[in-house]
Amino acid sequence: MKNFLVLAFLVVSCNLSANTDSLRIALFYTQPLSSVAIVTEGEYHLMLDSSRSVSITSGEMLFFSISEGKVRVRTASKHIGSFNSVVLYSNTSSGSFKTMPTNPKLAARWYDDNAILTPQNGKLLLVNHVELEKYIAGVVEAEAGNSAKPEFYKAQVLLARTYALGHTDKHAPEGFSLCDDVHCQAFKGRSTRNPEIFKAALATHRQVVADSTGKLIIAAFHSTCGGETANSEQVWPKAKYYLTRVADPFCVGKRNATWEKRMPVNVFTSYLSSKGFSSSSLTGEGLSFLQESRKTYYKIGRDSIAFARIRTDLGLRSAFFSVTKVDGEVVLKGKGYGHGVGMCQIGAMEMANRGMDYIAIINFYFKGVKIIPIEEVTNFFPDAREVELIVGEPNTSDIGQ
């Protein structure tokens, strides 16, 4: 029976793109991980090279490291061996394990379910094979913090689940579904700080957001829009009917709603010159530009550049800003934090505070969409493949902290 369970686990793990119940998430993906200690909670076993099984005592510490191209495994008292693959699995749904990376030394984190360890390009690849809803709860806690209302969490859960299921093969060539970095979705382990987050995942179990044809949407969100969300084509190549400008009164006056950055005039003009602006455009008061509502391009005469490009190049909080000259400086006064497309997290939190439910929140920010069960999806691959950035910009706001 035990061998059958392990075999089933490995088969599912190898064919995950067709499975919507669990995912494989690469942990500490951006780190050059070479060794990690793991402590289990609950009944666990090790499957070594798919042939040898070892029972693990709850609370026992295991040490894994890369050694001569294999995964070396030992306990505090004995050396178990070196293997091409190691699966740490539980026969129950309540098992969890704590990871403590030792090289590099990183903060400990708790994860649910199972783990797979293999050597990859001289590093230790640690993958969490985790139930979908447990993963989604962890993502939402990392992306949105632990102090919001349940209806906000339900809306955020829907977007996280929609994104995840639309990208289950994003890292397929590397042997897993998604990574734990903002390149995919931030994931710092199991959700532990607010039980309402996991409840939100269960309450919306298997629900996703789709367009009018049943295709998964681009599940975009950002910290703060500053009173007005952006059209998708202001940031990405293609316009999407459901990602259009929304006047948002719910985030006005909230944290991160406004910002300011100053720089010497010559720094700003040198930047514009490097982008092809003519010298005649960069004299006098021509630098000033008022952006009361979101515009796509900053224009001086016949020269122009996308506000989104300026934001990226200068490391600005948003692309929603006006330009003025004051005493030899250029002053950029902006609104919002993030790319501005899709759901404004701060606005959605305020909507939930005012008693609106998650369906109203989703329909406010995404026009003409529908919330449907996974089984009714007609196309799992959204047009997100066409854009560089969906939710994958660093979560530099204080929402998820």
Residues of the chain with pLDDT > 90, as a percent, come to 82
Query: Cα–Cα distance between 139 and 51 in angstroms, integer?
Result: 34
The better pLDDT of the pair 17, 367 is held by 367
pLDDT of residue 4: 37
Residue recorded with tokens 């950029």: 332
Query: Cα–Cα distance between 291 and 269 in angstroms, integer?
Result: 19
pLDDT of residue 10: 44
**8 vs 1, 36, 131, 359, CA distance in Å?**
11, 26, 15, 37
What number does CATH give the domain 2-133? 2.60.200
Other residues' Cβ atoms within 10 Å of the Cβ of residue 401: 9
pLDDT tens, residue by residue, 217-229: 999 999 999 999 9
**Of 123-127, 253-257, 323-327, which range is least confident?**
253-257
115 touches 127 (CB < 8 A): yes
pLDDT of residue 8: 39
Confidence class for position 9, pLDDT limits 50, 70, 90:
very low
pLDDT of residue 49: 96
Predicted confidence (pLDDT) at residue 285 exceeds the cutoff of 90: no
Predicted confidence (pLDDT) at residue 19 exceeds the cutoff of 70: no
Query: Cα–Cα distance between 316 and 308 in angstroms, integer?
Result: 9
Residue recorded with tokens 């740490």: 88
- Distance linking the first and last C-alpha atoms of the chain: 43
Average pLDDT of the residues in 244-273: 95
pLDDT of residue 237: 85
**269 vs 27, 183, 272, 275, 314, CA distance in Å?**
43, 32, 5, 10, 13
pLDDT of residue 31: 96
Query: Cα–Cα distance between 76 and 346 in angstroms, integer?
Result: 47
Query: Cα–Cα distance between 86 and 179 in angstroms, integer?
Result: 19
pLDDT of residue 281: 85
pLDDT of residue 401: 35
pLDDT of residue 385: 52
pLDDT tens, residue by residue, 373-399: 999 999 887 665 555 444 445 343 445
Q: Which of 97, 98, 63 is nearest to 78 (CA)?
A: 63
Q: Within 13 A of 58's CA, how many CA atoms are on the CB side?
A: 9
Average pLDDT of the residues in 39-66: 95
Confidence class for position 283, pLDDT limits 50, 70, 90:
confident
Predicted confidence (pLDDT) at residue 135 exceeds the cutoff of 50: yes
pLDDT of residue 181: 94
pLDDT tens, residue by residue, 79-98: 999 999 999 999 899 999 99
Query: Cα–Cα distance between 125 and 36 in angstroms, integer?
Result: 10
Q: Which of 93, 106, 37 is nearest to 65 (CA)?
A: 37
Confidence class for position 348, pLDDT limits 50, 70, 90:
very high
Statement: the pTM of the whole predicted model exceeds 0.85 = yes
Query: What b/e sequence results for 141-150 when a residue is b if at least 16 CB atoms lie within 10 Å of its CB, and e otherwise?
Result: bbbbbbebbb
Average pLDDT of the residues in 315-332: 96
Other residues' Cβ atoms within 10 Å of the Cβ of residue 68: 7
Average pLDDT of the residues in 145-156: 97
Choose the most confident range, by mean pLDDT, from 152-156, 235-239, 299-303.
Answer: 152-156
> Where do the domains of the chain lie?
2-133, 206-252+339-386, 258-335
Three-state SS at 271: helix
Q: For residue 294, what are the β-bridge partners? A: none
Measured at the alpha carbon of residue 139, what is the angle toward residues 385 and 364, in degrees to the nearest 5?
70
Average pLDDT of the chain to the nearest whole number = 90
202 touches 133 (CB < 8 A): yes
